[in-house]
Structure 1
Amino acid sequence: MARSSTKSFITEVPLKVNSKQESELLARFQAGRQVYNACLNEAMKRLELMRNSESYKVANKISRAKKKERSNTFRKVCEQFRYSEYDLHSFATKTSNAAKWIAQKVDSNTQQKLATRAFKASERVLVGRAREVRYKVPSRFRSMEGKSNKTGIRWKDDCLVWGKLVLQPIIDPSNPVIRHGLESTVKYVRLLWRILNGKRRWYAQLVNEGEPYQKSQNYVVDGLIGLDLNISNIAYVGDDHAGLLPFAELVPTFQKEITELQRKMQRSQRANNSDFFEPNFEAKRGRKTVVNKGKVKKGVKKAKAKWNKSSNYLKAANKKRELERRKAAYAKTQNRRVVNEILRHGKHIKTENVSVRGWQKRYGKAISAKSPGFVQSELLRKAENAGGTVIKFSTQKTALSQTHLDGTRIKKALSQRVHRDVTGISDHHRDLFSAFLSRYVSQDALILQDAQDEYLGAAAFGGKLPPKTCLLEPILLEAYQQRITREQVSKSESTQIDSPSERVSNEPLTTSQVVNKDEKLDGDVA
């Protein structure tokens, strides 16, 4: 019988933790890490034995058309080699009881949840979603959770309770989001830690049952949205509104500070690990002779040699990590605003089936700075959660960036950002026009008649179409003009950087260098 599932949302609350409580928590996390790694190792052993067996090979040869027979055969093979979630639960219990200190630190419910977590990691390798698993080191094991809110890690009387540990939360009573989460039913609790400004901070994540708190400005309407996702922006066209929104707009990159820290770390590494580097050598640059630093010796990385890291190196690494964390946090906040803005105009989405992973090899830094994959996944998740639909279609079959209103296809260079239609209609931004056409894609085919009927301008088609009162043409033109205005404002602000009146803080007041650089990559790669 399938498990019943209900809607969930997460409420995160910071915790007050003193030094004694933190010492106990770290001991319990160390015990939990040992359980997880042991379960993961056992799962991979059983998986390898199962894969090499004759029964598995026979099951793998069964045609995928015979779904029921194939799944039943695979299930019997898994039972034969005891490769299942519940078998790992039993293994976790035996392992914890064998090491008495683990059983004293981690309760049975949390042990089973760690076994489930390890099984899912190995299962990703089995189905081909991952190449290998990663065993956790102390710095990478950051969360543990219970199975329910009855025993183990639980939320009781507005406190996190785990055995004899009682951790007080920091609750803002004026925050409606926190109040809504505390008043909702708690399914289970997740305990985690993060490093902020070089210090460990503890948090409780309450996995609540029901719907999350809906802010008044973040409403969702029942409308159709055509999307065109890009590297640094997203274009959308709704029933009565269109826009071209940039990702992570005006997010500081701290590039200068990070570069200085990286150089400091590199100097420290070379000074404390001189045996791992080739000797410096002289090279000519034009008429000058310069000294180039030697590279890391061959075989050092494969041998996994232990590097000496000084206290100055560790301090610089912590500062760099904090700057990167802040940059990522700012980008997430801005990108969530982009998602909420789009959903205000419709929850039924049509978009191209693009792979952001495919962009990473070519536009690695731009993808890291802009996070289009986060916007894509967050938008689809929120739309489906609000009862909307998401339809993805092939980029090769539709080729929206090349298509004109009369059906003609003319390939454009990535640098060409303006769409000039062969029918003689007004010029539009390339991404906006592709988003407009995506509204009329059905089963990987563009229905041009519907697009022509909805577009205002019958004269562009030789007067064959009757006059319409559709507002899509002025909507597209208005969105294009807003994009031009935004670019002009950004450029005008960048010229005021040297003004003494603007130097009121250490934070940059202009668009970051990564943002400006990515504008050149603002291309449709379909």
Structure 2
Amino acid sequence: MTRSTTSSFITEIPLIVDSRQEIELLSRFQAGRQLYNACLHEAMKRLELVRNSELYNAARKISRTKKKERSEAFKKAREQYRYSEYDLHTFATITSKNSKWIAEKIDSNTQQKLATRAFKTSERVMLNVSSGVRYKVSSRFRSVEGKTNKQGLRWKDDCLAWGKLILKPIIDSTNPVIRHGLESPVKYVRLLWRILNGKRRWYCQLVNEGLPYQKPRNYVSDGVVGLDLNINNIAFVGDNHADLLPFAENVPTFQKEIAALQRKMQRSQRASNSNNFEPNFKARKGRKIVIKKGRVKKGKAQWNKSNNYFKAAAKKRELERRKTAYAKTQNRRVVNQILRHGKHIKTENVSVKGWQKMYGKAISAKSPGFVQSELKLKAERAGGSFTKFSTSKTALSQTHLDGTRFKKSLSERVHRDVTGIPEHHRDLFSAFLSKYVNQDKLSLQDVLNEYPGLEPVLLEAWQRYLTRKQVSTSESRSSDSPSEWVSSELLTSDQIAITSEKSDRDVA
């Protein structure tokens, strides 16, 4: 029997936590962390017994075509060693009662959710999605959640209640997103913390039942949109509009600041752990003789980290967090802009993971995979579709209007068609062709019928892209203090991205 599911969204609200409450919360999180690690260890032990059992090996030999028989065989192998979510709930309850301290700090519903969390982690290993598990240390265990909103960790009278602990929220009554979340039914509550500017901040996430609030400006149209995803930008063509939008526009990279902190951390490591490095050596660089630092010695060694190292690492994490938060905010704007012109998305099945091997830093800074996943999520939630088609079968960047194909190098960004039509931007023309791909086949007849009406739209989008590029270049050159301008712009956007980071994901 399958569980009934309903639509849900998240409303995130910051909490007011004093020093006494924080001490109590941290002790409860410590108890939750120990219970999670115990459940995860037990789940991995039982999984290992299942994998080594005769029933499991016999189930593997059953043909995949006999799905029902194969599934029943695996089920019996798991039942033999009590490897299931509900058996792990029982283990969590027994472990909590035996420790007494955990039972005092963590309610039964939260205990069961921690057991479920541990089971799902081990299940990823069973399904070969993950190669292994990682046990939680204090700095990595950042959230706990309830099972329902009736007991244990719950939202009651506009406050977060966890037993005798009552935490007051910071509610912005003028924010329609927050108002919508507070007025919607609450399924369960999640409590979490983050480090912002070197300080621990506490948040409450209400998992609401229903559909998220949609801002009026972020409406979704019922149309077909063709996409062409790139590393730095995304081209889209709708029924009457096209554009070439950059990812994470004007996002500060903090490259100089992060590099300086990395050098400081490296100097601290070498000073505190001189025995873990090879001796410095002389090397020739052109006509000069320079002294190069010795490499790290092979084998596991004990590393001592000074207070200066921890301070530099904290500053580096803060810069990376701010950069990521701002990039997500900007990329969500790109997603909303595309959905205004259609909710039926068609795009090539490109591998962003494959790009990471060649363009790791660019992918990390621009996050094209995040935009792709957000588009899919929001389009399907709005009743649309997200269709991927084969890149090799369609070869849109090589295709011309008469159906002929000519290979282009990656540096060639202009499409010059053999039929004599005006030149177009390569990505925009590929996005235009994407609209007319069905089941990995391009309908040339539809392309020829629709091209005359969309030709001025494509040319206008290219011109708009060039104008934006020239303006951004001139602004960066004429700015007296670009770093100060970026920082002032970041503060406002960063606050928005952090205080409602997950709720904004479901806004439109």
Mark yes or no: TM-score above 0.5.
yes
Deviation at 1:175, TM superposition (A): 1.0
Which has the higher relative contact order, 1 or 2, with Cα contacts under 8 A spaced 6 or more apart? 2
* Aligned position for 1:462: none
* Aligned position for 1:310: 306
* Aligned position for 2:108: 108
Counterpart Cα distance in 1 of 2:448 and 2:80: 61
* Aligned position for 2:385: 389
**1:93 aligned to 2:93?**
yes
Equivalent position to 2:432, from 433, 436, 449: 436
Equivalent position to 1:354, from 345, 350, 355: 350
Deviation at 1:493, TM superposition (A): 2.0
Deviation at 1:286, TM superposition (A): 1.8
Q: Write the deviation string for residues 190-239 of structure 1: whole angstroms up to 9, x where unpaired.
A: 00000001110000000001111110100001000111111111111111
CA contact 2:55–2:76 (8 Å) conserved in 1 = no
Query: 484-493 or 341-350: which moved more?
Result: 484-493
1:180-199, aligned counterparts within 5 Å? Answer: 180-199=180-199
**1:150 aligned to 2:150?**
yes
* Aligned position for 1:59: 59
* Aligned position for 1:505: 484
2:93 maps to amino acid: T
* Aligned position for 2:459: 477
Structure 2: any 5+ residue segments left out of the alignment?
490-508
Counterpart Cα distance in 1 of 2:96 and 2:342: 51
* Aligned position for 2:209: 209
* Aligned position for 2:498: none
Query: 191-200 or 387-396: which moved more?
Result: 387-396
* Aligned position for 1:461: none
* Aligned position for 1:138: 138
Deviation at 1:495, TM superposition (A): 2.4
**1:238 aligned to 2:238?**
yes
Query: 57-66 or 331-340: which moved more?
Result: 57-66
Counterpart Cα distance in 2 of 1:131 and 1:413: 37
* Aligned position for 2:501: none
* Aligned position for 2:497: none
Q: Write the deviation string for residues 54-81 of structure 1: whole angstroms up to 9, x where unpaired.
A: 2112211222222222212211221112
What do you get for the CA RMSD once the two structures are aligned? Answer: 1.5
What's the secondary structure of 2:478's corresponding residue? coil
Counterpart Cα distance in 2 of 1:90 and 1:504: 56
Equivalent position to 2:450, from 433, 437, 454: 454
Q: Write the deviation string for residues 139-171 of structure 1: whole angstroms up to 9, x where unpaired.
A: 000000000001110000000000110001011
What's the secondary structure of 1:83's corresponding residue? coil
Counterpart Cα distance in 2 of 1:168 and 1:63: 57
Counterpart Cα distance in 2 of 1:504 and 1:110: 45
Counterpart Cα distance in 1 of 2:25 and 2:302: 29
How many residue pairs get aligned? The number is 490
Counterpart Cα distance in 1 of 2:417 and 2:65: 46
Query: 52-61 or 149-158: which moved more?
Result: 52-61
Deviation at 1:487, TM superposition (A): 1.6
What's the secondary structure of 2:218's corresponding residue? coil
Query: 186-195 or 1-10: which moved more?
Result: 1-10
**Bigger proportion of residues as helix:** 2
Deviation at 1:507, TM superposition (A): 3.7
What's the secondary structure of 2:358's corresponding residue? coil
Of all paired residues, the percent bearing the same amino acid is: 75
Structure 1: any 5+ residue segments left out of the alignment?
457-470, 511-526
What's the secondary structure of 1:235's corresponding residue? strand
Deviation at 1:508, TM superposition (A): 7.0
Counterpart Cα distance in 2 of 1:455 and 1:506: 43
* Aligned position for 2:45: 45
What's the secondary structure of 1:87's corresponding residue? helix
Deviation at 1:181, TM superposition (A): 0.7
Counterpart Cα distance in 2 of 1:348 and 1:65: 34
What's the secondary structure of 2:187's corresponding residue? strand
1:290-301, aligned counterparts within 5 Å? Answer: 290-299=290-299
2:114 maps to amino acid: L
Query: 305-314 or 188-197: which moved more?
Result: 305-314
Counterpart Cα distance in 2 of 1:390 and 1:362: 26
Counterpart Cα distance in 2 of 1:121 and 1:395: 33
What's the secondary structure of 1:228's corresponding residue? strand
Deviation at 1:503, TM superposition (A): 6.6
Counterpart Cα distance in 2 of 1:248 and 1:286: 39
* Aligned position for 2:494: none
Taking structure 1 as the reference length, the TM-score comes to: 0.91
Counterpart Cα distance in 2 of 1:40 and 1:157: 35
Counterpart Cα distance in 2 of 1:244 and 1:70: 49
Counterpart Cα distance in 2 of 1:118 and 1:289: 55
Counterpart Cα distance in 1 of 2:456 and 2:487: 36
Deviation at 1:504, TM superposition (A): 9.2
1:448 maps to amino acid: L
Taking structure 2 as the reference length, the TM-score comes to: 0.94
Deviation at 1:505, TM superposition (A): 3.0
Counterpart Cα distance in 2 of 1:507 and 1:336: 19
Equivalent position to 1:490, from 452, 461, 472: 472
Counterpart Cα distance in 1 of 2:183 and 2:466: 46
Counterpart Cα distance in 2 of 1:126 and 1:421: 51
Q: Write the deviation string for residues 325-354 of structure 1: whole angstroms up to 9, x where unpaired.
A: 000001000000000000000001111111
CA spacing shift, 1:508–1:27, aligned 2, 3 Å: closer
What's the secondary structure of 1:455's corresponding residue? helix
* Aligned position for 1:120: 120
CA contact 2:476–2:482 (8 Å) conserved in 1 = no
Counterpart Cα distance in 1 of 2:401 and 2:464: 23
What's the secondary structure of 1:139's corresponding residue? coil
1:405 maps to amino acid: L
CA spacing shift, 1:195–1:508, aligned 2, 3 Å: closer
Q: Write the deviation string for residues 236-273 of structure 1: whole angstroms up to 9, x where unpaired.
A: 11111111110001001111111111111111111111
2:374 maps to amino acid: E
1:408 maps to amino acid: T
